Amino acid sequence: MRILAVGDIVSSDGREYIYNNLGKIRRKYNIDYCIANGENTALTNGITVDIARNLIDCGVDVITMGNHTFSNKESGIVLNDFERVIRPVNYPPETEGEGYFVEDLGNVRIGVINAMGRVNMEPLDCPFRETEKALAKIKDKADIIVIDFHCETSSEKLAFAHYFDGKASVIFGTHTHIQTADAQILSGGTGYISDLGMTGVRDSVLGVKKELIMEMYYTRKHVRFEKAEGEVWFSGCIFDVDEKTGKTTNVERLYFSDKEII
């Protein structure tokens, strides 16, 4: 099975890129299943009902979230109405939605878990323990398990990946919007990359106008963020997973503009 993981989709430019090009990307790379991080898809972060529906309609099978899960007033509605949109499993159980999703594709069953780190992030429940609980619930229902670990530091991501090596087929990091060069297969057969990167305007600082961020750091003043304008680049990773063993056999990073899609 070829699983495509898409890096954080940022604002209208990023999501329009996905609407217009995901089908082409899936066909070009013979993708069987697609998971994308959508916590920044709305203008004010978070996600809306229309965005969730459009992403699913254009070929995203599961949408994961992160620390901006509830930054939009519609996010709770989305999580209740769309089972394919999941939020970090270590949010309090009273919050809307679920932290995992399982789908039976007929020839193989795939489970997706979303978790969030705690270093320089919100003080949520332990992602290690809450992911263990989720794995216990779905391990007999899924042949392939994929985890999106939304996290700030590479050390926490790596520790998490090694802890669950062999227990998940794929673990990828999101949140930093910068693609890392450490795509690999861990000793237990788990495919891994510390961060998928960002699908958004390349000439920016994490999708925001670079001039505003430079001013913020130079003057230490608070500035109102505005989305950047310019060419959008796609960032993500393909994981080839053996359907019988549930282990990753190959990892391929992707980073390109729409000009490179045939």
| pLDDT for res 207 | 85
Give residue-wise pLDDT tens across range 42-88: 987 999 999 999 999 999 999 999 999 999 999 999 999 999 999 99
What are the E-state strand segments in 10-99? 33-37, 62-64, 85-86
Q: Provide the 3-class DSSP secondary structure of residue 179.
A: coil
207 or 179, higher pLDDT: 179
The answer to whether 140 and 101 are in contact (CB under 8 A) is no
Pairing of strands 248-257, 232-241: antiparallel
DSSP string, 97-142: S-SEEEEE-SS-EEEEEEEE--TTS---S-HHHHHHHHHHHHTTT-
The answer to whether 191 and 148 are in contact (CB under 8 A) is no
Q: What is the mean pLDDT of residues 168-191?
A: 97
Residue 222 has pLDDT above 90, yes or no: no
| pLDDT for res 107 | 94
- Annotated active-site residue in 68, 150, 175, 177: 68
Please give the Cα distance from 17 to 36 (Å, whole number): 13
Active-site residue, 68 included: yes
Residue 224 has pLDDT above 90, yes or no: no
| pLDDT for res 223 | 86
Name all domains of the chain by residue range, CATH numbers in brackets: 2-257 (3.60.21.10)
| pLDDT for res 44 | 75
- Single-letter code of the amino acid located at 3: I
Give residue-wise pLDDT tens across range 21-46: 999 999 999 999 999 999 999 987 99
Q: Provide the 3-class DSSP secondary structure of residue 6.
A: strand
Q: What is the mean pLDDT of residues 157-182?
A: 97
Residue 225 has pLDDT above 90, yes or no: no
| pLDDT for res 262 | 60
Global confidence as pTM: 0.95
| pLDDT for res 227 | 86
The answer to whether 113 and 135 are in contact (CB under 8 A) is yes
DSSP string, 186-240: -TTS-EEES---EEEESSSBTTB-HHHHHHHHHH-------B--S-EEEEEEEEE
